[in-house]
Amino acid sequence: PTPRPACPRASMPVQKRPAAIKVAARDTALPAKRAKAASGEAAPVRAKERGRPKADPIVRQVADIVRGFSAADIPQDATDMLKGMLPFALTPFSGEREKQHQTVIDMAMDVLGAAEAHVAEAIEAARAAHAAVDEGSAGLAAAAAAASEALACKDAEMQSKKLGLAEDAKAFRAAKEAVAKAASDEAAVLKDVQAATARKERLMALEAEAKSLAEGSVGASTDAATDASADASAVGLRVEALASSLTLLGLDASMLAAVPNAFGKPTAARGAFDAMVISQVMQTLAQRI
């Protein structure tokens, strides 16, 4: 069988749903309702403000007066009583007030006068205290200046004493060094004296030995026999010792060479040269002593 050709479908127009139309209408009407509601809420508030009663100026004045009572030294009951009576006393004009009204006003004026006097007294006391503080400050400033001046004087005195102590310390060190030097010099002098004394003693012993040999006295030596007939060997030893000791005196070499021969001979066998050598040695020893 032959297939049928497909028939084209007719396009239908697109229509909005009724629900969407209602939502759009409701959204359009919402701002108007809100504005109306807002205006409806604000209107009662303004009406309420227009209907609020104004504050009574007498009440404000009484409140100010009562605040002034705080500076006066009156009981709280009296303050409360005047606070309750003053509005009735101040409401009538000055020429229309009764005696009791004026009495309340006079009582309030007395309290305010006492408060004013109390405040004035407090101000005067504060001024006196301020003056006392100023006077005390001046006294403290003078005392501080005097203390500062005294401190400066003490500081100058301390500096002077420090300088004096430094000079004393310097003088003490110099004196100590001088004492040490004097002690050292004394020790050196003592050492020299001891050396000179020992040297003198040696020279005196040497002189005595030379004199003994020059006189031919064999017994003058402790090493030799005291007998008059001492042998020549003992005399020779003494002469050699004398010549060795004379070498340290710095005598002439020729003189030292002649000493053993001159002092070793018996006195009877000595010649003029021997006598001269012996005399020269004795003079040299005497000069050195």
What distance in Å separates the CA atoms of residue 265 and residue 216, rounded to the nearest whole number? 9
What confidence tens digit (pLDDT) does each residue in 231-255 have?
567 888 888 888 888 887 777 788 8
Q: Which residues of 234-270 are buried (b: 16+ CB within 10 A; e: fewer)?
A: ebeebbeebbebbeeeebeeeebebbeebbbbeeeeb
- The model's pTM is 0.36
Residue-wise pLDDT for 19-59, tens only, equals 443 434 444 444 454 445 444 444 454 545 555 656 678 88
State pLDDT tens for residues 188-240.
999 888 888 888 888 888 888 888 888 875 444 444 444 545 456 788 888 88
pLDDT (mean) for 155-166: 92
Q: Please check the confidence at residue 6 and state whether its pLDDT lies above 60.
A: no
Q: Cα–Cα distance between 155 and 133 in angstroms, integer? A: 31
Return the pLDDT at 19. Answer: 44
Backbone angles phi, psi at 266, to 5 degrees: -65, 155
Name the percent of the chain lying above pLDDT 90: 19
Whether 82 and 111 have beta carbons less than 8 Å apart is answered as yes
Once rounded to an integer, what is the mean pLDDT over residues 260-282?
A: 87
pLDDT at 176: 92
The secondary structure of residue 67, as a DSSP letter, is H
Angle ∠(33,37,38) on CA atoms, nearest 5: 120
pLDDT confidence band for 262 (50 / 70 / 90) = confident
